[in-house]
Amino acid sequence: MATLASAITTGPGPARDVVPRVPIPAKGVDYRNKIVLAPMVRSGELPSRLLALKYGADLVWGPETISRALIGTERRVNPRNGTIEFTRMPSNGGRPNKPSKESVIYRIDPVREKGRLIFQLGTASPELAVAAARVVADDVSGIDVNAGCPKPFSTSGGMGAALLRTPDLLVSILETLVKEVGEPYQIGISVKIRIFSDPEETEALVSRLVKTGITALTVHCRTTPMRPREAAIRDQLRMITSICHNAGVACVMNGDVKSRDHGLELMNEYGVDGAMIATSAETNSSCFRTKEDGGIAPWREVVYEYLRFCIESENRLGNTKYLLNMLIPGKDKEFKDTKLSKTYLDICRGLKFDDLLPDAMALDQILGLDDKWESVPPVTHSLAQSEPDTPTQSEHKSKAVQNAMQSETARAAGGGGVRTKTPLPAVHGGGPIRRSSAPRPATVTQVDDEQPAVEAPIPAPQTEAPSQVTA
């Protein structure tokens, strides 16, 4: 396939250098000069992405999602917070004696992620890749193909790093995505790879990939067998960058980039166009903030902001706890308390984030976690002890929040006893409601905190392995 690179000229005077550049589609985004959040299964859900953006990430990748997990999902706007949710019912019909709950496969904030979200696909089939990418193409700024995951459950399905060994297939996936999704939806298609230990093999692969019409290539500077703790190898970076640049494709580096400042230094040193951060951001997203702007923030500040985003986004409790595990230092008492928490109320109380308690309780109700409130000993937190709200404050609280506050206050005051669960109306004021997209009529949804992030019945004949999500 002919390269889509168009020649553009830079620099003053008649002897200007001619630099080809694959055009960035109208609704796409240029990865150049960006420090970005890496795709991370579990660690890259919506609240983590919002946290990274808050601290200065220029772009955020969502966690890899297997194409067939996305195909057949229902897209709807959550009427409480305006997020776009792609949902499906569990394939096994749920557990015996328990009504089935929908799983949210992917969640997007159409306002705060606008122009900054890249969706990463796990796939081993051009047809499935296209079918899946079309589901989200209107809501994201780019589709990235994962060709670097080394986990057996990914590679055994021919996805992830296995694609490095099947370059014809990888090229075909990218070309098909460019033609059938990138062009009609006007978004960019990109790929994330690892290096081979033999630079010539890397060179041969990259030389083919940059001719597929992709706008960008991210290189994780480790080979497939390398463990995450092994230091990234950067000696192939200049060669890869040069191939990308000759074809007009942006080159983003990944591997042991510690912070925005560090990323900028490396970009300068190796001539790459952007830098991607994974594990450093997982531990403390304020790594996206320059030293000049305050640098690394104390963990309590980061955890507070993270929890706020979790509550607003109605994030699954299990996922929230997973990331809190990374954000809270293991030696702190709060680490153990959070691990044992069964509700958002528990977490916010344990961390003494009293101003988050009303919304935490409201979310527990939405998620059906409020029946676990009895399992924690009554505490007297500032909310229970505080003066009643002023009328103005009360007006701003939803009925659900008020109910939750009343029952919590009564319980803390010794009212104890068995709570009866108050069913919530479909729409309440548990979080800020943004309506950037017209909400469709809401079906009341319970998000299951025990379900894996992806629950994937197979809607159509497919060739991929029955794995869920990959790391």
Ligand X SMILES: Cc1cc2nc3c(=O)[nH]c(=O)nc-3n(C[C@H](O)[C@H](O)[C@H](O)COP(=O)(O)O)c2cc1C
Q: Interface residues with ligand X (CB under 6 A)?
A: 38-43, 63-64, 120, 146, 148-149, 192, 220, 228, 254-257, 277-280, 282, 471
Positive/negative CA dihedral, 250, 255, 256, 258:
positive
Compare residues 306 and 373 and give the one whose CB is closer to ligand X: 306
Q: Are strands 274-277 and 250-254 parallel, antiparallel or unpaired?
A: parallel
Q: How far is the CB of 188 from ligand X (least distance, A)?
A: 16
Residue for token digits 């168009």? Answer: 6
- Min dist CB 457 to ligand X, Å, is 21
The nearer residue to ligand X, 40 or 369, going by C-beta atoms, is 40
User: CA of 374: how far to CAs of 215, 230, 311, 442, in Å?
Assistant: 53, 46, 21, 30
Nearest approach, Cβ of 447 to ligand X (angstroms)?
21
Strands 74-77 and 84-88: antiparallel
Block residue for tokens 């949804």: 445
* Nearest CB to ligand X, comparing residues 44 and 358: 44
121 sits in which H/E element: strand 117-122
Q: How many angstroms separate the CA atoms of 352 and 348, rounded?
A: 6
Phi, psi of 353 (to 5 degrees): -95, 70
The whole-angstrom separation of Cα 441 and Cα 426 is 10
Residue 297 or 471: the one with the smaller Cβ distance to ligand X is 471
* Rg from Cα positions in the chain: 23
Q: How far is the CB of 267 from ligand X (least distance, A)?
A: 14
Tokens of 247: 């074809």
Q: Smallest distance, Å, CB 283 to ligand X?
A: 10
Our CB check for ligand X shows the closer of 128 and 232 to be 232
Q: How far apart are alpha carbons 190 and 209 in whole angstroms?
A: 9
Give the helix ranges, DSSP H, for 150-286: 152-155, 167-177, 183-185, 199-209, 237-247, 260-270, 279-283
**Which of the following is catalytic: 149, 244, 251, 310?**
149
Element (H, E) at 135: helix 126-136
Q: Give the whole-angstrom CA distance, residue 78 versus residue 197.
A: 46
Shortest Å, Cβ 291 to ligand X: 19
Q: Is 149 a catalytic residue?
A: yes
Between 213 and 255, CB nearer to ligand X: 255
Q: Which residues are the active-site residues?
A: 149
